[in-house]
Amino acid sequence: MAIIVNLDVMMAKRKMSLNELSEKVGLTLSNLSILKTGKAKAIRFSTLEAICKVLECQPGDILEFVEEDRD
């Protein structure tokens, strides 16, 4: 997929575990896992806002656009 989720990178930078993030953001572990592994099809603004608040970052730090190879 062209949109890469760099949640694990930000979590590593903040030295935060998935459990801790899940508690602070108020998302279930399975939903966070879907987001982290790039299986998510969409993300709500409210979720993005909560994650950015907890990780003290910008949405661009979590989401990245990478052009896919055409061949």
Partner 1 sequence: MSKTNNFVFWALYSVAWIIFVGLSIEAGGLLVNFIISLYKPELIQSLYQKLDLTEIYKESRLAFFCYYSFILTIAILKACLFYTVIRLMHTMDMSKPFSDFVAKQIALISYYTLVIGFLSYLAHQVTKTMMHHGLVTDKLRPFWEDSDAYILMGGVVYIIGVIFRKGVAIQNENDLTV
The label of the residue with tokens 């890469």 reads: 4
* Span interacting with partner 1, options 16-24, 35-43, 57-65, rule CB under 8 A: 35-43
Of 53, 54, 17, 49, the C-alpha closest to 33 is 17
Q: Which of 9, 22, 31, 61 binds partner 1 (CB under 8 A)?
A: 31
Does 53 bind partner 1 (CB under 8 A)? Our answer is no
Residue 40 touches partner 1, criterion: CB under 8 A = yes
CB 50 within 8 A of CB 35: no
Residue 67 backbone phi and psi in degrees, to 5: -70, 130
Task: Write down the least CB distance from residue 30 to partner 1, Å.
Answer: 9
By CB under 8 A, name the binding residues for partner 1.
27, 31-32, 34-35, 39-44, 47
